[in-house]
Amino acid sequence: MTLDPVISDFLARAGWPDPAIVPITPDWSPRHFWRLARADGARAVLIHAPMAVPGHSLDDFARLAQVLRGGGLSAPAIFAQEPGLLLVEDFGDTPIDTPAIEGEGYATAIDALAVLRVLPTDGLVAYRDGYIYKKLALFSDDPAWLAAWEAAKAALPPCPSVFAHMDYKAGNLHWLAARADVARVGILDFQAAQCAPFTYDVVNLLEDARRNLDPAFKAQMKQRFYDALPDDWKPLFDAWYVFMAAQFHARVLGQVRGQANAAPDIVPRLEHYLAAELRHGALAPIRPFFDALLRG
């Protein structure tokens, strides 16, 4: 495979001239990924992010990888970095939803959240001020839409905000069987971390519309997360779980509705999830917008 000369020169300077190269299936981001192998058996992942796009900064990836590793979590080691390019540790291709390890994988990912949430939030943008929250406007550009969310939030007790990964899904969590405890979960794609409500990441993990989790298993994982919470946070959990799940599903629905490449079942599934979540009384201000969407 032929790479851009700029990338080839970067690899040569990093001690990786002429490696075997396999492209990694792209995600929804503007980044490009390749898996590299050297003749001596060493492996690495090359990341190319040529544009300064919110949530995809390689500088943030490198900085936050150090924060996660400092807390005892597994984030890729950084082998080399230049503008727009990163060479990092390869965590393999066994996500935690791989059938053979799914139960242990999800349970360990839940346990890792108890470590993640106490990491320092210095330099992280507040969720309410970040680009992810602003994507709610993709569902509706009516100014009353975001105002309705603020009204629903005002009806809830205040929620502690913590270090949040913001894309804590199975595809970004890879199983590292040779490691111990929470370090067995190799965490990727954390460069968009924010200071967000403490239920944000567990909602991302358990309410991902691209995966069908068994309801009993999902309930078990929710209970595991709940049991590890500080006692004074536990009374807040149910209401803030539903609130963040509804907001998450509304945002994703706004993003994928009308996309030609969206999975055919994802929009109906998101609508089903959102309809169930909006039955909760605190979310009454949101229901008229969802009803209008269905009528339209």
CATH number where 283 lies: 3.90.1200.10
- For the chain, percent of residues with pLDDT exceeding 90: 84
62 and 168, same domain (yes or no) = no
107 and 76, same domain (yes or no) = no
111 and 38, same domain (yes or no) = no
Q: What's the average model confidence in pLDDT over 48-62?
A: 84
Given the DSSP bridges, would you call strands 20-23 and 32-37 parallel, antiparallel or unpaired?
antiparallel
Predicted confidence band of residue 3 (pLDDT cuts 50, 70, 90):
confident
Q: Name the CA radius of gyration of the chain, rounded.
A: 20
The tokens for 294 are 């269905």
List strands edge to edge, sheet with 78-82. Answer: 20-23, 32-37, 43-48, 85-88, 78-82
pLDDT tens, position by position, 86-114: 999 999 999 999 999 999 999 999 999 99
Q: What's the average model confidence in pLDDT over 148-164?
A: 97
Q: What's the average model confidence in pLDDT over 246-274?
A: 86
Contact 175, 205 (CB under 8 A): no
Q: Which of 63, 88, 113 delimits the end of a domain?
A: 88
59 and 158, same domain (yes or no) = no
Per-residue model confidence (pLDDT) at position 1: 64
Per-residue model confidence (pLDDT) at position 28: 57
78 and 103, same domain (yes or no) = no
Predicted confidence band of residue 289 (pLDDT cuts 50, 70, 90):
very high
Q: How many CB atoms lie within 10 A of CB 227?
A: 10
Q: Does some domain include residue 228? A: yes
Q: Where is average pLDDT lowest: 191-195, 231-235, 251-255, 262-266?
A: 262-266
User: What total of structural domains would you count in the chain?
Assistant: 2
Q: Which of 88, 121, 151 delimits the end of a domain?
A: 88
34 and 168, same domain (yes or no) = no
* CATH number (domain holding residue 84): 3.30.200.20
178 and 152, same domain (yes or no) = yes
Q: Does some domain include residue 35? A: yes
Q: Does some domain include residue 250? A: yes
State yes or no: pLDDT of 26 exceeds 90.
no
Distance CA 276, CA 272 (A): 6
Q: Does some domain include residue 94? A: no
Predicted confidence band of residue 260 (pLDDT cuts 50, 70, 90):
low
Q: Does some domain include residue 135? A: yes
More confident residue, 172 or 54: 172
172 and 54, same domain (yes or no) = no
220 and 259, same domain (yes or no) = yes
Distance CA 220, CA 284 (A): 28
Distance CA 131, CA 251 (A): 12
pTM of the model: 0.94
Distance CA 103, CA 241 (A): 21
pLDDT tens, position by position, 168-184: 999 999 999 999 999 99
CA angle 146, 129, 292 (to 5 degrees): 15
Q: How many CB atoms lie within 10 A of CB 52?
A: 11
Distance CA 98, CA 94 (A): 6
Q: How much is the mean pLDDT over the chain?
A: 94
Per-residue model confidence (pLDDT) at position 34: 96
152 and 45, same domain (yes or no) = no
Distances (CA, A) of 150 to 10, 145, 156, 252: 47, 9, 10, 18
- In the chain, what is the straight-line distance between the N-terminal and C-terminal CA atoms, in Å? 48
130 and 176, same domain (yes or no) = yes
- For the chain, percent of residues with pLDDT exceeding 70: 96
**Domain assignment of residue 13, given as a range:** 5-88
27 and 120, same domain (yes or no) = no
Contact 112, 182 (CB under 8 A): yes
The tokens for 85 are 């390019």
The tokens for 261 are 């490449």
Q: Which of 40, 61, 88 delimits the end of a domain?
A: 88
**HEC-encoded secondary structure of 27-91:** CCCCCEEEEEECCCCCEEEEEECCCCCCCCCHHHHHHHHHHHHHCCCECCCEEEEECCEEEECCC
